[in-house]
Each structure stands twice: as structure tokens, then as C-alpha cells.
Amino acid sequence: MSQKNLAHLIGIDASTIGAWEKRKSRPLKTNLIKLISMLDSKTLRP
């Protein structure tokens, strides 16, 4: 599944994906950690 399809499924907006595309040179692990943190703050916060 592509990053954009995944993002659509989890409700991340297009501007966020655009920012991610520009930072693709960063290590994947760093990006995954940031994505998980962002999802936690959006979905787990009461």
C-alpha cells in the first residue's frame, strides 16, 4: 500500500503528505516514529 493510500485511510490531510514527500530523504525509521507520534496526538488525545 502506498504512503498516500495509507494516509487517506488514517485521515491525514494532503498538506501533511506534501510535507512528508519533501522530507523523503530522511531515514524511514525517523519518519515512522514521527507519523506514529502525530497519529497518537490526533487520535488518542481525549
Q: Against a cut of 0.75, is the pTM above it?
A: no
The more confidently predicted of residues 14 and 41 is 41
Mean pLDDT of 23-31: 67
pLDDT above 70 covers a percentage of the chain that reads 37
The confidence score (pLDDT) of residue 13 equals 67
pLDDT for residue 19 is more than 70: yes
Look up residue 11 and give its DSSP letter. T
The confidence score (pLDDT) of residue 32 equals 78
Q: How many CA atoms lie within 13 A of 35 on its CB side?
A: 22
Q: Supply the mean pLDDT for the chain.
A: 69
Task: Report the distance separating Cα 1 and Cα 15, nearest Å.
Answer: 19
Q: Where are the beta strands (DSSP E) in the chain?
A: none
Q: Which of 5, 24, 30 is nearest to 38 (CA)?
A: 30
Angle subtended at Cα 41 by Cα 37 and Cα 43, rounded to the nearest 5 degrees: 110
